[in-house]
Chains A and B, each alone.
Chain A
Amino acid sequence: MLIAGAVWLLGNIFDNLADRGIASGFGFLRSTAGFGISTSLIEFSEASSIGRAFWVGLLNTLLVSAIGIVLSTILGFAIGIARFSSNWLLARLAVIYVETIRNIPLLLQIFFWYFAVLRSLPGPRQSHELGGLFFLNNRGFYTPSLSLDAGGVAILFSVILLAVLAILKRGQKRVVKLCAFLASGLFIFVAVGAEFSLPELKGFNFSGGMVLSPELVALVIALSTYTTAFIAEIVRAGILSVPRGQIEAASTLSLPYRDQMRFVVLPQALRVIVPLLTNQYLNLTKNSSLAAAIAFPDLVSVFAGTVLNITGQAIEIIGITMAVYLTISLSIAFAMNVFNRNTALRGTSP
């Protein structure tokens, strides 16, 4: 019944499209894009295909969401815990933060940060500079970048792995020393082989190096400060859900406040916090589509914006875009559920 309905709907759509002389199909993904994109994690030029433009947009969306999720989680926990602080000023400030930020529409905050960031910065020729390596102006934050070949990337990756290993095994002095030794050796190897690219002023603007665009910065600040307010409330709710007796018992054992939080309260609070956190992560990811308003080339701006207008194939493009957001959201929800199962199990075995 359902399938028959879906088939009828699809058939009807294509009949109507053909009837109105509107093109359909997914062939457009292979045609040349013909437009430029300012921020891209992968190589992209005007001669690339529209399919590649889709990936550029998608990666930008994921980038903003990932940074936003990390920042808002850290800040959210900090502010949520600050509300219980015995320091009157700190607790009040946390309340003011939460009540201000969560009651102002996100789009306004994005505009605020964007124009606040832009207005406060000088033009490229009057950049703030630090040691001739870092430059800050209203076109972005320029840093030197390192161009590595595949081998270099592999070595850098193993340095990071060694660092992680060293942190995990920080009890065992010998392992740590060995890791540090190996890592520094490899690092020198990379530094010798790599080519550094420095930003320098050429004509209108800086070229070379790496750039963090004001759009990205404004969007990340707005999304993470906004979501922080909600996460702080969730953390507060989680902490309140821990029975008072637990905290009193911890104080009786004369555990310092930090350890009370770390070993007694938070592990129990997480059971309440994690499922709610999932919602906020999903919201943040979906809210990142507001990027289109401030010219950050995310999926909606590039694909459901520029590409939609070039090809005019609204059904396919909006369909793909919705499917992508659905997939991202379901993946985040899945990851969080796995995490939740772990915290829940640990919590129930006293």
Chain B
Amino acid sequence: MQILRNLMPLVVIVLASAGTNAGTLDTVKSKGAITCGVSQGLPGFSAPDGKGNWIGIDADFCRAVAAVVLGSPDKVKFRPLSTKEAFTALQFGEIHILSRNVTWTQTRDSALGVNFAGILYYDGQGFMVRRSLSVKSARELNGAAVCVNSGSTTELNLSDYFRTHKMKYSPVVFEKSDEVLAAYRAGRCDVFSTDQSGLYAQRLKLAKANEHMILPEIISKEPLGPAVRQGDDQWFNIVRWTLFALVGAEELGITKANIGSLSKNTGNPEIRRFVGTEGKAGINLGLDPKWAARAVTAVGNYGELFEKHLGKNSRLKISRGLNRLWNKGGLHYAPPIR
């Protein structure tokens, strides 16, 4: 089953004749919708609600791109994908954007035929254990059985960490996150390891979340961000600048609530360029001047997105940490629109 799905794109590459890369922008416009690859259900990032709508910061990023390109945040088709399938699906054009908490690494950027458009969330790998084990630090995990997802950087970081600290561990590797959690819940392993944001999200699914704690150590850099297919610079630029627009909007104080009034009456030239009353930033992207304004109207600025899905207005209650703006001690920095 899994193999079959992996093979589908292979058939495409075997039979397709070389050099038929139509511009993604044109494809998307003619189809009237963006196909967006998301996770198979990670609260806060992309998870279906009771009515089948995909909710989360990754899902909303795709809505922002749809608003920028097609004028409406609803023109998105979501495709849930495992880590294993995700890049193959993107390489062969089954999806237009991959927005599913995947880590930007050098190998993925250079050998997989995809390009990362930027960083939506600065994450790092962590560990969750039962409080009853009375472990206080990851350095005490020698000999532990660790449940992880297959086909992820998680598996490699884990092995690096234990090798570096000369500790032993026994990996228990599953294909789906739900199975990892089920095995952890059943006591098959002592430790659950994945990106820290993912641990907070998965912990909510456990019956007594308080009996589990997330250890303080972060053992890796996990920059998560949207990726597009390599070789279509126009589309790459659009996706990258949608991300910058969301971050830039927060810096300029443009919110979902005030963008309407700001569009009409502001003297601030930066904001005027942002909302498209001045300059021609949108036109150069192959869009119209109101592109960035539509993104913010659709989903809000980066800060609003974060607090809604991951931060204090969400069930996850993750502090912003590295994900603050550059001028507030974080890492998010958008180049100027001019």
Mark out the residues of chain B between 131 and 155 whose CB falls within 8 Å of any chain A CB in the assembled complex: 133, 141-145, 147, 150-152, 155
Most buried by A among B83, B145, B172, B188: B188
Q: Tell me the smallest distance from the CB of B76 to a CB of chain A, in Å.
A: 24
Roughly how many angstroms separate A215 CA and B17 CA in the complex, as a whole number? 44
In the complex formed, the residue of A with least CB distance to B191 is A204
B88, B142, B187 pick with most chain A CB within 10 angstroms: B187
Residue of A nearest to B12 (CB): A16
* B156 partner, pick from A12, A35, A205, beta carbons under 8 A: A35
Contacting residues of chain B (14-45) with chain A, CB-CB under 8 angstroms: 14-19
The smallest beta-carbon distance between A111 and chain B, in angstroms, is 9
Q: How far is the CB of B174 from chain A (nearest CB, A)?
A: 5
* Alpha-carbon separation in the docked complex, A23 to B179 (Å): 31
Give the contacting residue for B150; candidates A22, A115, A306; CB below 8 A. A306
Q: Pick from B9, B133, B145 the residue with the most CB of A within 10 Å.
A: B145
Residues of B in contact (CB 8 Å), total 59
Residues of B within 8 A of A23 (CB): 111
CA distance A207 to B174 in the complex (A): 23
Residue B307 interfacial (CB < 8 Å): no
Contacting residues of chain B (155-180) with chain A, CB-CB under 8 angstroms: 155-156, 158-160, 162-163, 168-175, 179
Looking at A95-103, A162-170, A269-277, A289-297, the stretch in contact with chain B turns out to be A289-297
User: Distance in Å from the Cβ of A117 to the closest Cβ of chain B?
Assistant: 9
B10 contacts partner chain A, Cβ-Cβ < 8 Å: yes
CA A139 – CA B143 in complex, angstroms?
A: 12
B16 adjacent to A294 (CB under 8 Å) = no
In the complex the two chains form, is A293's CB within 8 Å of B173's CB?
Answer: no
State whether A203 touches B186 (Cβ < 8 A). no
User: With an 8 A cutoff between CB atoms, is B87 at the interface?
Assistant: yes
Per a CB cutoff under 8 Å, which of A16, A215, A314 touches B88?
A: A314
Residue B230 at the chain A interface, CB threshold 8 Å: yes
Residues in chain B within 8 A of chain A (CB atoms): 2-3, 6-7, 9-10, 13-19, 83-84, 87-88, 91, 107-108, 110-113, 133, 141-145, 147, 150-152, 155-156, 158-160, 162-163, 168-175, 179, 182-183, 186-188, 190, 229-231
Instruction: Report A's interface with B, CB cutoff 8 A.
Output: 9, 12-13, 15-17, 19-23, 34-38, 46-47, 115, 118-119, 123, 138-139, 202-205, 207, 214-215, 289, 292-295, 297, 300-301, 304-306, 308-312, 314-315, 318, 321
Q: List 21 A-B contacts (CB under 8 A).
A: A12-B17, A20-B13, A20-B91, A20-B113, A20-B229, A21-B113, A22-B112, A22-B113, A35-B158, A38-B145, A38-B171, A46-B159, A138-B188, A214-B188, A292-B2, A295-B173, A309-B151, A311-B107, A312-B111, A318-B3, A321-B3
Give 4 A-B pairs besides A12-B17, A118-B187, A215-B172 with Cβ atoms closer than 8 angstroms. A22-B112, A295-B172, A300-B2, A309-B150
